Amino acid sequence: MSANPESLAVNWVRRVGGMTLFFLQVCARLVPSFARPGLIVRQIYNAGARSLVIVMLSGLFVGMVLGLLGFDTLQRFGSEDSLGVLAALGMLKVLGPVLTALLFAGRAGTSLTSEIGLMKSTDQLTAMQMMAVDPLRHVIAPRFLGGILAMPLLAATFSVIGLFGAQLIGVQQMGVDVGAFWSQTQNAVDLRDVTEGIVKSVVFGVACSLIAVYEGYNCEPTPEGVGLATTRTVVSSSVMVLLLNYLLTAAFLTKS
Amino acid sequence: MKNSRSLEIGTGLFVLLGFAALAFLTTQLPGTSLKFGGDEGGYTVTARFDNIGDLKPGSPVTMAGVRVGRVDSIRFDPKDFKAAVVLRIEDQYHEIPEDSDASIQTAGLLGGKYIGIGPGGSETFLKQGGQIEFTQSAIVLESLVNKFFANMASKGSDEKKDDAPAAQEQK
């Protein structure tokens, strides 16, 4: 725990390596973990269904803000009919996946880390290993998988709710024509844009879930260690999501 | 077992909602057919335009700036090389003179296109399946700009011709 920059760098590289190894280990157990689908369903419930309310509420408000600001800006150019295009592309490509991933890291990622960390500090994981039960297969893999499956669904819900939030403000309050709103949107959005959003949300789901389970599994088995690990989950996930978002956006731009 | 039941119901609801959202995004947004804001009811009339610009199904149809209906569908008629635009007009506006004219206009400088109907003087009114005879096509900004520059260029060359004798006289 010294502030020596050299050891910080070494620690950082070690974390990256550890996470990669951990990722491979979990991947190897993904298929066997399907033997207990009940465990995965429970994790989808924990990561997905219980994050649904916060995701929907946030989506609604983000969409409404998009409607207000988008209308205000587009109005200056006399093209407020394009509000739907702005809202749909913004939601699909950036706001939906990124904000959902950040909420997901805060809502589901932290609970994953602290749950696994607490299991570790109360020696439940060790006990499993004593009984020849593989904790990676029965604890980690279902949680990882549940997170990956839940993320795209959450992001899609976020985008749709946000789009209707933008419509609520734009059409109901600001008086944009509802036909122009949707017809311009349908004309401007193609399947590639939708695919971009889905790919992003899957990648973010993998990153957030991996970081969450890794931090939990490798935390110091003390109350303080669990707390630190939870903090690290939020920080690393957020930075990772924003970084990946840039890379994916650039990749999708050059492909066209 | 009650716990597992509510767990499964919650998960099921979440997954269904998520997939419904995905289905909406993949099928409705990139679609060309209008599902939202498309009005049912009313009556339809056809107008044929030489050029519709980027008019789209769902665009508003207005009279005196007030929306009276929407563009229902647009198709290309290979017989006379015109665009046949079907307008769906709300029932309450059933007294539109038969000889009214339809023109494609732009909302703002960059805004979407819409159809403006100017009333005619006829005593008979448009009916279901009727046709608007007098139409004015969309003004395409590019051709307008082209015309403008062509004008400028010809003016410029005219001025040069005028200048040439004057310069000679000065010598």
* CA A22, chain centre distance (Å): 19
Read off the pLDDT of each residue in B70-90 and give the average, rounded to a whole number.
87
The answer, yes or no, to whether residue B1 has pLDDT greater than 50, is no
Q: Is B114 on the interface with A (CB under 8 A)?
A: yes
Distance CA A245, CA B105 (A): 40
Q: Which of A83, A183, A199 to mutate to test the interface with B (most CBs of B within 10 A)?
A: A183
Distances A134 to A25, A118, A126, A130, B105 between C-alpha atoms, Å:
11, 17, 10, 9, 69
Instruction: Identify all chain A residues contacting B60, using CB atoms and an 8 Å cutoff.
Output: 177, 179-180
Q: Is B27 on the interface with A (CB under 8 A)?
A: no
pLDDT tens-place string over residues A178-194: 888 888 888 788 888 89
| Residues B17, A150: C-beta atoms closer than 8 Å | no
| Residues B38, A179: C-beta atoms closer than 8 Å | yes
Q: Which of A100, A182, A189, A198 to mutate to test the interface with B (most CBs of B within 10 A)?
A: A182
Helix axes A191-217, A141-167, angle to 10 degrees: 140
Nearest to B15 among A79, A153, A160 (CB): A153
Range of lowest pLDDT (A101-115, B12-26, B144-158)? B144-158
Q: Is B16 on the interface with A (CB under 8 A)?
A: no
Distance CA A216, CA A210 (A): 10
Distances A143 to A44, A147, A172, A208 between C-alpha atoms, Å:
8, 6, 42, 11
Please give the interface size between A and B, counted as residue pairs whose CB atoms are below 8 Å apart: 133
| Residues B110, A177: C-beta atoms closer than 8 Å | no
Nearest to B25 among A159, A180, A183 (CB): A159
The answer, yes or no, to whether residue B36 has pLDDT greater than 70, is no
Predicted ipTM of the assembly: 0.74
Question: A240 vs B106, which has greater pLDDT?
Answer: A240
Read off the pLDDT of each residue in A92-100 and give the average, rounded to a whole number.
93
Q: Is B88 on the interface with A (CB under 8 A)?
A: no
Distance CA B143, CA B146 (A): 5
Instruction: Identify all chain B residues contacting A77, using CB atoms and an 8 Å cutoff.
Output: 108-110
* CA A256, chain centre distance (Å): 25
Read off the pLDDT of each residue in B50-74 and give the average, rounded to a whole number.
83
pLDDT tens-place string over residues B96-147: 888 888 888 887 666 678 888 888 888 888 888 888 888 887 777 777 788 8
Contact B99, B67 (CB under 8 A): no
Contact A86, A125 (CB under 8 A): no
Domain boundaries, chain A: 36-251
Q: Is B18 on the interface with A (CB under 8 A)?
A: yes
The answer, yes or no, to whether residue B171 has pLDDT greater than 50, is no
The pLDDT of residue A181 is 84
Confidence of residue B158 (pLDDT cuts 50, 70, 90): low
Domain boundaries, chain B: 1-31, 43-144
Helix axes A223-255, A191-217, angle to 10 degrees: 160
**pTM, 2 dp:** 0.77
pLDDT tens-place string over residues A203-229: 999 999 999 999 999 888 888 999 999
Longest dimension (CA), chain A: 70
Percentage of chain A beyond pLDDT 90 is 51
Read off the pLDDT of each residue in A22-45 and give the average, rounded to a whole number.
87
The pLDDT of residue B161 is 56
Residue of B nearest to A48 (CA): B14
| Residues A41, B7: C-beta atoms closer than 8 Å | yes
Q: Which of B25, B35, B66 to mutate to test the interface with A (most CBs of A within 10 A)?
A: B25
Report helix, strand or coil for B30: coil
The answer, yes or no, to whether residue A140 has pLDDT greater than 70, is yes
The answer, yes or no, to whether residue A151 has pLDDT greater than 80, is yes
Which pair of tokens denotes residue B4? 């597992």
